[in-house]
Structure formats: structure tokens, C-alpha cells
Amino acid sequence: MKPRSESLELRILRSLNARMELTPNDQTYFSNLEKGFRGEQEFDKWIESLANSRLILHDLLLEYNHTLLQVDSFVIDMDKVYLFEVKNFEGDYYIEEDRWHSLSKNEIKNPLLQLQRNESLMRRLLQDLGFPFPIMSYVIFINPEFHLYNCPPNLSIIFPTQLQRFIGRLAKSPSILKDTHSNLAAKLLSTHLTDSPYSRLPKYHFDQLKKGIPCPHCKRMYSSIIKNALVCHSCNTLEPYHHAILRNVEEYRMLFPHLKLTTNQNTYLV
Ligand SMILES: [Zn+2]
């Protein structure tokens, strides 16, 4: 019922990355967002099969009691709802008491704490909305290159090697939806916030950005035009000129929503 799309924050960072030097911190933040988004898309393919008899809402951003609640995937089943938090971690990690570390000893945020917090917020929200469904919540590790040492079997985690069976079991369980379920979905969609007020974008200014039209695939600037097409010499992409111009105008509007598009900014386009 709600497809996933890139956040405005991710789209702006992609554009800035092609047009300015991001600081190492911003670069890390940006690549984590990209990686997270790819992981979520991967999980979407897995749960597609559930859509016949369940409602799926991707990437919900809700507010409850002045607290933000972000849900990667939310599935409404006949007698319960599922809340999925997708992690695209790669490499070896271990748990020591409640703390999570990478093998290089860096402590990372415990994803189960985030899940518990989200589940508790969602429970109160559903109660307030008048849909007190039981909630099943899971952290999904989507990357087959992920391993977790010292993990007890009773945690709400689905590993890549369990995903097939987990989704298979879910798909087999009967689910008949009624109006209540659609009403719940509609209610959640109507309270969905479009953009996270907590985005961490670097400061940028028109004058400081590299001008030109970046190739949509490799993000390097086009350097030549043949007939009516722009040509990327790095990855051999050909794009009709008018198409690239429109794309650039859109990008300009996204980066500078408060600036007027005038002919003075032509330097931006060519
Ligand atoms: Zn290219």
C-alpha cells in the first residue's frame, strides 16, 4: 500500500556527492544511508509474496507523543501486525551482555533496543487509534556476509539463512483481511510524515557546487555532446539532451527549493 522511495535526504546527498567534496563523516553517513536503502529494497523483494493477503507499508515515519517512530516495513496480518527493522550489516559482530561490537571492537548501537523502543511506541499508537493488534517485531539481517557471535536463539532476529523459512511460514499462514485492516492502514498513512526533521545534511551553497550535468549512472559530469545526446566517457551512458536538462532542473529545485530558477542559473545547467 505504500511503496518505498529514497528519502529526500538520500537524494540530496547523492547530488551533493557529485558536486562537492563531502567530509569523511558526511561520506560515511551517506554510504550508510545508501547501504541501508539497498538492504531495505532487498527485503521488499522477500515480502512481496505476502501482499496477496496482507497489507504492506514500507518506510513509515510516524510521531507519537513528540517521539519519532520509523518503521522499515510494516505488515498487517489478519490477527496481528509485523514490524520489521532491516539491517544491511556486513562482517563479523559479537554480543557481550547487551552490547554489540564489530570484531574490530567498535561498539555499535544495539538494534534490538531500537526495535523494542519502536514496538512499545507502536503498541501505544495502535491502542490510541483503536486498533489494539498484537505486534510481532523482528530485526532482519539481510546481508549474507553478516555473522553474529554469541547470539542466544531466543532473540527477535532473523538471519539471512533463516529468511526463506521465515517468509515461507508466514506466507502459508491463513490471512483474511476485513475493513478494519484497511482502516488501520489508511489511518497510519494519513499520519505518515513525509520528511524526517532530523536529517543531517551538510551546509551547501550554490556558488560552491560543481556545475554541469552529472551522468545518472556513474555521477561524473558529462563532458561532450553528440547530436542530441550527452555522452559519458566514463561509463558510456548516452542520454537525450532535453531529458538531462529536465533532470537537472528537478535536481536544482530539490537542492534549492527557496531559490527561483532564473536564466542566471544557466551556468548550473550546462
Ligand atoms: Zn557515466
CA distance 260 to 270: 18
Residue 96 φ/ψ region, left for φ over 0, alpha for ψ in the -120 to 50 degree band, beta for the rest: beta
Nearest in space to 102 (alpha carbons), one of 144, 140, 139, 147 = 147
Higher pLDDT, 111 or 227: 111
Predicted TM-score of the model (pTM): 0.86
Measure the CA–CA gap between 237 and 217, rounded to whole angstroms. 8
CA of 17 to the centre of ligand 1 (A): 14
What average pLDDT does the chain have? 91
pLDDT at residue number 198: 60
Cα 129 to middle of ligand 1, angstroms: 48
For residue 262 the three cell numbers come to 532564473
Give pLDDT tens digits for 87-102. 999 999 999 988 999 9
Q: What is the DSSP letter of 218?
A: T
Q: What percent of the chain has pLDDT over 70?
A: 95
Q: Where in the chain is the domain with CATH 3.40.1350?
A: 8-191
86: pLDDT strictly greater than 90: yes
Q: 20 C-alpha to center of ligand 1: Å?
A: 17
Q: First CA to last CA across the chain, in angstroms?
A: 39
**What pLDDT, in 10s, does the model give residues 229-244?**
999 999 999 999 999 9
Q: What percent of the chain has pLDDT over 90?
A: 71
List, for residues 34-73, the tens digit of each pLDDT value: 999 999 999 999 999 898 899 999 999 998 988 989 999 9
Strand partners, 56: 75
- How far does the centroid of ligand 1 lie from the alpha carbon of residue 220, in Å? 6
Report the b/e string of 98-127 with b at 16+ CB within 10 A: eebeeeeeeeeeebbeebeebbebbbebbe
* Cα-to-centroid distance, 199 and ligand 1 (Å): 28
Q: Is the model more confident about 201 or about 138?
A: 138
Predicted pLDDT at 5: 85
pLDDT over 80 (residue 266): no
Q: What is the DSSP track for 67-121? A: EEEEEEEEEE-SS-EEEEEEE---EEEEEETTEEEETT--EE--HHHHHHHHHHH
For residue 270 the three cell numbers come to: 550546462
Give distance in angstroms: CA of 23 to centre of ligand 1: 23
pLDDT (tens digit, 9 = 90+) per residue, 100-151? 999 987 899 999 999 999 999 999 999 999 999 999 999 999 999 999 998 9
Report the pLDDT averaged over residues 12-22.
94
Backbone torsion region of residue 220, taken as left when φ is above 0, otherwise alpha when ψ lies between -120 and 50, otherwise beta: beta
Q: How far is the CA of 181 from the centre of ligand 1 (A)?
A: 45
Residues with CB under 5 A from ligand 1 (ion): 215, 217-218, 232, 234-235, 237
Where does residue 20 fall: left (phi above 0), alpha (psi -120 to 50 degrees), or beta otherwise?
A: beta
The yes-or-no verdict on residue 192 having pLDDT over 90 is no
Cβ contact 188:62 at 8 Å: yes
Mention the CATH class of domain 8-191: alpha beta
Distance 240 CA to ligand 1 centre (A): 14
CA–centroid distance, residue 231 to ligand 1 (Å): 8
Q: Is the pLDDT reported for residue 159 higher than 90?
A: yes
Confidence of residue 264 (pLDDT cuts 50, 70, 90): low
Does the pLDDT value for residue 270 go beyond 50?
Answer: no
Distances (CA, A) of 245 to 7, 213, 215, 258: 22, 8, 11, 20
- Averaged over 3-22, what is the pLDDT? 91
CA of 234 to the centre of ligand 1 (A): 5
CA–CA gap between residue 140 and residue 163 (Å, rounded): 8
CA distances from 18 to 27, 196, 209, 212, 253 (A): 12, 23, 9, 10, 16
**Cβ contacts of residue 46 below 8 Å, gap of 6+?**
163, 167
